[in-house]
Structure 1
Amino acid sequence: MVLEGKTIFHKLWYFVTTYILTLKRFDLFLQGTLLIVILLETNVYLLLDRDANEGYLPKLVGEWVRLGAAGIEVVLGAAVAWFGKDRRQLALSGWLAATSVSGLLVFAFPFAVSNPPNVELCGGTEISLYNETPAYDSNITGRTAFLVITMLLCALSKVSIWAHGITYLDDHDPQNGAYFYGILISIRLSLGLSGFNWLRPSSTREDWWEAHLCLCMLTFMFSVLFTLFPRRMKSCVQEEEFGVDTGFCASLGRIVRNKVLIVQTLGFSFLSAAVFCYVLYDRAYVSARFHIETIRQDPRSSRTLSDIFRSLVIIFFVMIFRVRFSARRSDGVKTNTASRVGGVTAIFVAIFFTVMASISCNTGSIVGATGDGFEQPICSQQCGCNSERYGFSPVCAVDIDATFFSPCNAGCAEAEDLNGILLLQNCTCSTETLRAVRGACSLLSCRTAFGAYQVIYTVMLAVSGASFMMFGMAILRAVRPADKAIAVGTTYAVVALLAFVLGNLLYMAISYLTCVYPDEGACLLHHPSLWSASATSALLALLAAITSIIASKIPGPPKERSTEF
């Protein structure tokens, strides 16, 4: 191999630009960037939740910050996409750098003490080590400010990933546009949804900084890598358009007048609300419908293996669609074809949500849970329980076949680990044996229903991934190349408004109306009628299917109407 260049530096740069800074590497870096930004966003949410559990912040701080992040996407989404359209790799790098710096500044305001929300026994004794919470944390204001700023910058970085990163790839290799888009949506729906389970344990410990530092530094690393890529590679097949007014108002005007894009964006919004808003309440749904402990993993009902299985199924299923709609045409897939296929798959998403709503089992009731709220059981009123801090941790008093919200609520004063099964003793609410075991009394009888739910939930996410991919390709193909970036940015701004602001408020209302155990606006346990969340998602997915099919019937741009599939 002969390297061009007169000096060592020139030869090294030639090697880097020829063999490392390739389109495949850009695609690989973009995949890693999306995953890291999602995980960083999740970690920030968990750190805010940590302060909320300590009483320093309102319980709903995470929800309001999430709404604020969606709001900034609404306000700045189109502007962010348009501003960086000429130097997309540098624009993406800039947002990643800002996100990384903001995340690193959190370290200037560390947590005062580590105080994990461990489950308590009667009398306040924790089953694991316990540290007293200080009455005041002098760093709370600065830490909260930079956590919120990091959350907002994560939202804008995700807009840049889709508006600048995916359009950069699509311009260079439009035949494989579906391939590029599909692999990103696979990451979003598979590994991206596992972040809560991965990061929650470390977010409450003294070594919380390790995960946060790694995520921030990886974000910065990708920021540096993207600066090395050229504006256009020699392999770019998309020719630049000249004589087209690419000003912000002119570009936005063309977007607004594009009927196909507008209708398809509505469908995208409905599907995003159906899937992503529901995912936020998946753990609450499992607790309400099957009385399964989701905050801490019970070995008998752990979702660790199902999370791995879910990721593999989603990646494999979306891969089928990526391969099917890649490299078949010069632009990969036609607009109306993508809209039609996306609409059909969205119908199946609605069907799976309907099936999920119908899956149930006889869980019985939680002692103390009434139609008007939650009351401390009489048999454990002397315990002074603080269950609001650590959430739903069900135990079963076997001799009376009754499920209690937590060991403290069952009046249990001692705990013993028997080969991974937690046995609780001296339980005042157990009339004969004075014993209880971890998990609801319905744990074994609901195992089949819970397993069926996990399978349908996984298949729903896989099919929705294929639908998202086709919706995204329809949007990319519905506009001229010069408007791709702002089209994607505008789409995500509308999606943020309809799905992540209004849609999230809708699901928050459902959560409020079905809440059994409220705590300062948050909900620790819902009534089984939370199935209405699945039913709502089914309706929204059906609306997404209808609007997408309608979009497939609308004539596309003149350039596309002359092309046969």
Structure 2
Amino acid sequence: MSTSRIPDFNTVKTKVKGCLFSSTFVAESFRGIMMGIIITVTLGEVVAYRLLKQNIKAGDMPHYVTDLLILLLALLEALVSPFIGWLGSSRRRGMLMVACLVSGASALLWFALPTVTVPESIGFCNGNNTMPEFRSTFNTPIRLSIILYTFLVFGVTRIIVFCHGITYMDNRSPSRLSMHYGVLTAFRLLGLEMGYNIMTTIVETNLTIQIFMIAIGIMINALQIYLNTSKTTEEMEPKTIEDDLSFGSSVYRVFSNTLITTQMVSMGLIAAALWGFAYHQTDFLKAKYYIHVERSHSFNYAEILRYHFVILAVVYQGLTFTPPIMPSIIRLDLLTNAAKMCFFSVIVYVMLMVGCDTGSVAGLQGNSYTQPQCSQTCGCAPQWQEFAPLCVADQMTTYLSPCHAGCSGIDEVDGLQVYANCTCASFRRAIIGACSGNSCEGVYQMHQILYPSLIIFAVLYFQAQGTLLLRVVEPRDKSVLLGLAGAFIALFTFVFGHLIFIGISNLLILLLALLEALLSPFIGWLGSNRRRGVVVTTCLVSSASALMLFVLPKVAVPESVEFGLTPSTPFRLSLILYTLVVFGIPRVIIICHGIIYMDNRAPARLSMHFGVLSTYRLMSLVVAYNVLTPIVETNLTVQILLIAVSMALSGLQIYVSTPKPKEEEEEPKIIMNDTCETSPFVPNVVNTTSSLGFGKHVI
């Protein structure tokens, strides 16, 4: 008679842990988890955007809030991405899990959102068509705070996944790097592309389900990370001899590599081009083809099917960049591939510019539109707000919406729906759709094929570039590199690119301010051992640049004018922008180098130096427009000569009245000190081990 021995607790515990926890790292499994997180946080950002749009439609916020937030959040992302990439490089697994849990909990905050009433626009004559007047309510700040918080949390989680998730996989499965980077990039782009129109429409009808889908989905991802990664082998990161893992050193090493810097700028430009086209695609279809996209289940399924080719292309290229097809990464092959993708993208952009004969449009004269007289009493919304084109067949004229055609309802004739009681139609009826529908249908279908191709080429470009950058950079700086690449993409895409697409004329001051904020620290560092020469040179360059205003094309300034570009507008704008930048740089140089030059030679008068320059800067801003520069309107020549001659004389005065270069460069030095204590003033002592690098100074 045999008796079975009951296993002890430790044995059971070991077996259970063996079933639940993975003892080996499986790259494909971990990549699937990262892919799920990217999809979820992208949808979270899209949902937050939709919630913000609800407030705008309800009249609780002005219409420009979304554009402003895109700019501000992108600028914040550009500033914190490199730091997030550096932070937690020794605890990537923990950061990923914490970020997912915080994101899941933050999504639940949407349950506390105060509700808003979004008026429905009927779209017919004498219906509810006007935009609500802006009026902030008591709940608006609460709702805006919650939405902004979730924006930030989802954005930080996305940055952590790209910086630490990709690095985590690459350190353990380096041969599959191209596949890791390509798949995550593809799903990020597809999430943005399909998220708003297909995957988050339930927000408008049932927000509760959308919240649970996001919160539960990302929390499950956190659990999967915990179960599928080994804690004991988590920190097996590659090390180098004499590792310097400080943030400033990592940033400095990345920027010291010219190839990396230029390719990050290139990635930002490609992303900006794609974003501008994708974000404004609906308006593009309206303006170019007079197409109003009516989304249905079949339309959405066809769109999803088209985007499957993006994934297939990424997988194919990922396999070609991995062993045994490519045993090791070859820089030239990756650069060649990226160049090809850029070339193909340019071809697609050109093909997308092909237009069609849109026929006659009521009220449209060139670039200006006025509502037709026959519907002036209908109280219609702005022309593009309710864009739903219809055709008055007896005139073969397209009207932009039922309201603008004076229609008050819909009838059904022989199974065909038509607009009825249209005051702009002789027979009081109009057909749904533009009159140019048949002539533009073929071009529109070509657009539907070319647009996914554009996304394919962009994703393949990012895949090649990301693989190249991660193989060029030092292993210890990979996560910082990914953060910097994300910063470049955010700056070029959502700041500079977005400003250009929404109208640089309205936000030029913000653009120049952002440019100054980015360049000022670098200008302060540059030329620190040749301050006299830098100031003299900038004065002379500014003087010469002022003379360029003599070639400005003239413009006529009537009392009122409709918007319209002339052939000379780009040239005039370029000259004005150039002079704005050129005059801004000397101001920064005077503040950075002029004050220090004086302080190093007359330190007792520092307060006077700084106070006088600051006062005259503020006074000139206050009185310049109304007092000092009105002559621009009547005699620009005199104003140009005043500025050019005075700047040239200032440069000459500096050259004559300051010491020669040999004496000039006797700047005070300090003995290298890593503590916060100040070293005594030691005039001619130079420590050869001290670092004057820009990154070191900033940190």
TM range (shorter): 0.7 to 0.9
Contact 1:117 1:389 in 2 (8 A): no
- Per-residue deviation, 1:211: 1.5
**Residue equivalent to 1:32:** 36
Give runs of aligned pairs for residues 436-475 of structure 1, distance below 5 A. 436-475=430-469
Instruction: State the 1:33 CA deviation.
Output: 0.8
Output the amino acid matched with 2:108. Answer: L
Deviation at 1:133, TM superposition (A): 11
1:350 is aligned, of 342, 346, 352, to: 346
Paired amino acid for 2:312: F
Is the Cα contact below 8 Å between 2:110 and 2:211 reproduced in 1? no
Q: Distance in 2 between matches of 1:247 and 1:5?
A: 46
- CA distance, structure 1, for counterparts of residue 271 and residue 142 of structure 2: 33
Q: Matches of 1:90 and 1:418 in 2, distance apart?
A: 65
Whole-angstrom distance in 2 between the partners of 1:251 and 1:118: 54
Distance 1:267 1:15 in 2: 46
Partner SS state of residue 361, structure 2: coil
SS at match of 2:21: helix
Question: Which letter does structure 1 place at the counterpart of 2:447?
Answer: Y
Can you list the C-alpha shifts for 1:114-134, whole angstroms capped at 9, x where unaligned?
A: x364442112169xxxxx999
Deviation at residue 388 of structure 1 after TM alignment: 6.7
Q: 1:172 to 1:365 in 2, by over 3 A?
A: farther
d(CA) in 2 for partners of 1:419, 1:251: 72
Give the Cα separation in 2 of the matches to 1:125 and 1:75: 44
CA contact (8 A) 2:23 2:230 kept: no
CA contact (8 A) 2:177 2:467 kept: yes
2:596 matched to which residue of 1? none
Per-residue deviation, 1:343: 1.7
* Pairing 1:123–2:144 present: no
Secondary structure (helix, strand or coil) at the match of 1:400 reads: coil
Q: Deviations over 1:355-401 (max 9, x none)?
A: 112x1101134323345643322111222123579531212222211
Matched, 1:190 2:194: no
Distance change in 2, residues 1:232/1:391 (3 Å) = farther
Residue 82 of structure 1 contacts residue 485 of structure 1 at CA under 8 Å; is this kept in 2?
Answer: yes
Q: Match of 1:56?
A: 60
CA distance in 1, matches of 2:444, 2:20: 51
Using the TM superposition, give the Cα deviation of residue 216 of structure 1 relative to its aligned residue in structure 2, in angstroms.
3.0
Counterpart of 2:183, as a letter, is: I
Residue by residue over 1:210-252, the C-alpha shift from the partner in whole angstroms, topping out at 9 and shown as x without a partner, is 2133223322332343344547775999643353111111212
Distance apart, 1:329 and its partner CA: 8.0
Q: 1:437 deviation in Å?
A: 2.2
Q: Secondary structure at the match of 2:438?
A: coil
Provide the rounded CA distance (Å) in 2 between the counterparts of 1:211 and 1:505. Answer: 31
CA displacement at 1:298 relative to structure 2: 7.7
Question: In the alignment, what sits opposite 2:497?
Answer: 503
Partner of 1:393: 388
Counterparts of residues 247-396 of structure 1 (less than 5 Å): 247-294=246-293, 296-297=294-295, 303-328=299-324, 333-357=329-353, 359-371=354-366, 373-387=368-382, 390-396=385-391
Residues 474-500 of structure 1 deviation map (CA, whole Å, 9 limit, x = unaligned): 111111211111111111112211222
Q: 1:429 aligns with which of 411, 415, 424?
A: 424
1:519 aligned partner: none
Q: Distance in 2 between matches of 1:420 and 1:491?
A: 56
The 1:395/1:150 distance shift into structure 2, 3 A limit, reads same
Match of 1:89 in 2: 93
Pairwise CA distance, 1:345:
1.6
In the aligned structure 2, how far is the partner of 1:318 from the partner of 1:528?
Answer: 41
- Judge conservation of contact 2:59–2:136 (CA < 8 Å) in 1: no
| Conserved? CA contact 2:202–2:210, under 8 Å | yes
Query: What is the aligned partner in structure 2 of residue 536 from structure 1?
Result: none
Give the one of 400, 404, 426 matched to 1:405: 400
Q: 1:447, CA displacement in angstroms?
A: 0.4
Tell me: higher relative CO, structure 1 or 2? Use CA pairs within 8 A at least 6 residues apart.
1
Distance in 2, Cα, partners of 1:339 & 1:108: 49
The Cα RMSD (Å) is 3.3
Which amino acid letter does the alignment assign opposite residue 15 of structure 1? C
State how far apart, in whole Å, the 2-side matches of 1:356 and 1:439 are.
22
Match of 1:110 in 2: 114
Q: Deviations over 1:22-77 (max 9, x none)?
A: 43321111111111111111111111112111111111222221222211111101
Distance across 1 between alignment mates of 2:244 and 2:452? 45
- 8 Å contact from structure 2 (residues 84, 483) kept in 1: yes
Structure 2 Cα separation of the partners of residues 7 and 383 of structure 1: 80
Please list the CA deviations of residues 399-448 of structure 1 after superposition, one character each: whole Å capped at 9, or x if unmatched: 211212211111111114679964211111111x2111222111121000
Q: Any residues of structure 2 matched to 1:140-151 within 5 Å, and which? A: 140-151=140-151
Gaps of 5+ in 2: 1-6, 508-562, 567-699
TM-score w.r.t. the length of structure 2 is 0.66
In the superposition, relative to structure 1, how do residues 355 and 94 fare at CA in structure 2: closer, same or farther (>3 Å)? same
Q: Distance in 1 between matches of 2:24 and 2:133?
A: 51
Q: Are 1:209 and 2:214 an aligned pair?
A: no
Q: Is the 8 A contact 2:355 2:443 kept in 1?
A: yes
Amino acid paired to 1:160: I
Question: Which is further off, 388-397 or 504-513?
Answer: 504-513
- Say if 1:90 and 1:226, in contact at 8 Å, map to a contact too: no
Q: Which residue of 2 aligns with 1:521?
A: none
Q: Which runs of no fewer than 5 residues in structure 1 stay unpaired?
A: 127-131, 514-525, 530-565
C-alpha separation in 1, matches of 2:159 and 2:351: 33
Asked if 1:494 is matched to 2:488, the reply is yes
- Mapped to 2, the partners of 1:153 and 1:143 lie a distance apart of 16
CA distance, structure 1, for counterparts of residue 564 and residue 416 of structure 2: 27
Counterparts of 1:156-195 in structure 2, within 5 Å, are: 156-195=156-195
Q: Which amino acid aligns with 1:172?
A: R
Distance (whole Å) between structure 1 residues aligned to residue 232 and residue 333 of structure 2: 29
> Which secondary structure state, in structure 1, belongs to the residue aligned with residue 269 of structure 2?
helix
- Structure of greater Rg: 2
Quick one: structure 1 residues 235 and 249, their matched pair in 2 at CA, closer, same or farther if it must change by over 3 Å? closer
Tell me the alpha carbon deviations over residues 262-320 of structure 1, each in whole angstroms, 9 at most, x when there is no partner. Answer: 111111111111212321111111111111113x4389xx8524412321121112222
Q: Any conservation in 2 of the 1:92–1:160 contact (CA below 8 Å)?
A: yes
Instruction: Kindly provide the CA deviation profile for residues 145-183 of structure 1, in whole angstroms up to 9, marking residues without a partner as x.
Output: 111222233222222111111111111111111111121
Matched, 1:99 2:97: no
1:512-549 CA-to-partner distances (Å, cap 9, x unmatched) read: 89xxxxxxxxxxxx9999xxxxxxxxxxxxxxxxxxxx
Q: Which amino acid aligns with 2:307?
A: S
Query: What residue identity is the alignment partner of 2:127?
Result: G
Task: Find the partner of 1:46 among 47, 50, 55.
Answer: 50
Does the 8 A contact of 1:175 with 1:330 survive in 2? no
1:528 and 1:414 map into 2 onto residues whose CA distance is 39
Alignment TM-score, normalising by the size of structure 1: 0.81
Q: Which amino acid aligns with 1:25?
A: S
Percent identity reads: 25
